[in-house]
């Protein structure tokens, strides 16, 4: 019974994490990341300034960043949902540590998720206090994706088994595990590159496709484009790099997209004939094709909001698909 509760709670927490990731993308893409210049409140209050008197007080307290209500409420809704996720992870830990033998084996991963989600909260704070510093923004995205992956893994592994039965895994199925790990590694690297592209406002630095500014290989500056740590105190909203550096970032992200497409397609086609993996492989096949199409449409349609948010959401779903396949290729798989 307690294992079933854990499974349901972990599943719900994974869904909430996906919502947090998608909502975070929406906040970032609507340029509301600094909609609240302080943390954890917003202009010194727990909600956001809305009434004229509140806005006047907030503007006096933060003259460098006047209130924009449309941005402030988006940022705070994102924070509220992230706060709910923290409470869910705390509940997961309570259940694993108080659940006896049924949940003992999940204590390690539950504790890891709690540690990660608290670090995520710190990254969220630094995102604001360090004014959208690219390395922090990218780390915050990766932290969200890692949280989703771990909660998905916990949800899959905690699925109740009838009478404690363990499903045997065929040798051919287990043999695909290294391929799944390679695909997951490539996908995470591409997501990190996407986060770096977004954090440096380079998504439209190559406004044409398949060429970049009319060239197959435009002028590049890898040193400036991939300087990880820059000075503190700079407001990075809108980006600080020149066009050449941003085009370099965008170009690397495009190359990464082609590599990721090839690796994930190869993985999907390699696994779809094995019955235990067919469903996940087919979903992966469709998912990566949709994701690549969304990426191309971002360029052709000039980064429409709905399309760009969907691009972030599909990346998260691809993570879940590969975690499912990782679970299914484990020596002791769950359905």
Burial of 107 (0-12, 13-18, 19+ CB in 10 A): middle
Residue pointed to by tokens 């085009």: 247
Collapsed DSSP state (helix, strand, coil) of residue 66: coil
The full DSSP string for 202-245 is -TTSS-SSSSBTTBSS----HHHHT-----TT---TT--S-HHH
Contact criterion met (CB below 8 Å) for 241 and 225: yes
Cα separation values, 190 from 29, 63, 195, 218, 227, Å: 19, 38, 9, 21, 18
Contact criterion met (CB below 8 Å) for 272 and 281: yes
Query: Alpha carbon 299 to chain centroid distance?
Result: 21
- For 186, list phi and psi in degrees, rounded to 5: -65, -40
Joined together, the tokens standing for residue 133 give: 């510093």
Among candidate residues 75, 167, 224, 237, the one labeled active-site is 75
Contact residues for 56 (Cβ-Cβ < 8 A; gap 6+): none
Reply yes or no on whether 54 is catalytic: no
Return d(Cα 62, Cα 46) in angstroms, integer.
Answer: 16
Catalytically annotated residues: 75
């Amino acid at each position: 019974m307690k294992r079933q509760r854990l499974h349901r709670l972990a599943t719900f927490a994974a869904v909430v994490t996906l919502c947090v990731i998608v909502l975070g993308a929406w906040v970032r893409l609507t340029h509301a990341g600094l909609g609240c210049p302080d943390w954890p409140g917003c202009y010194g209050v727990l909600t956001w300034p809305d009434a004229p008197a509140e806005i006047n007080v907030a503007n006096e307290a933060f003259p460098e960043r006047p209130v924009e209500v449309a941005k402030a409420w988006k940022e705070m809704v994102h924070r509220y949902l992230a706060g709910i996720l923290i409470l869910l992870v705390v509940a997961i830990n309570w259940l694993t540590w108080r659940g006896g033998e049924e949940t003992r084996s999940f204590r390690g991963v539950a504790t890891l998720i709690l540690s990660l989600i608290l670090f995520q909260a710190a990254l969220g704070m630094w995102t604001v206090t360090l004014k959208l510093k690219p390395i922090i923004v990218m780390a915050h995205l990766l932290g969200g994706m890692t949280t989703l992956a771990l909660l998905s893994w916990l949800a899959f592994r905690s699925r109740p088994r009838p009478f404690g039965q363990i499903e045997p895994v065929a040798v051919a199925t287990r043999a695909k595990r290294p391929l799944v790990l390679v695909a997951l590694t490539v996908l995470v690297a591409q997501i990190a590159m996407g986060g770096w592209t977004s954090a440096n406002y380079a998504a439209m630095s190559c406004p044409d496709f398949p060429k970049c500014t009319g060239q197959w290989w435009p002028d590049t500056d890898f040193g400036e484009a991939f300087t990880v740590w820059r000075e503190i105190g700079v407001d990075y909203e809108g980006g600080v790099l020149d066009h050449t550096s941003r085009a370099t970032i965008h170009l690397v992200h495009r190359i990464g997209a082609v590599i990721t497409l090839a690796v994930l397609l190869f993985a999907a086609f390699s696994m779809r004939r094995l019955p235990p993996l067919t469903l996940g492989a087919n979903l992966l096949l469709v998912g990566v094709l949709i994701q690549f199409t969304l990426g191309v449409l971002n360029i052709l349609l000039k980064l429409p909001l709905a399309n760009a948010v969907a691009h972030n959401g599909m990346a998260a779903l691809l993570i879940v698909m590969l975690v499912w396949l990782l679970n299914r290729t484990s020596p002791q798989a769950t359905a």
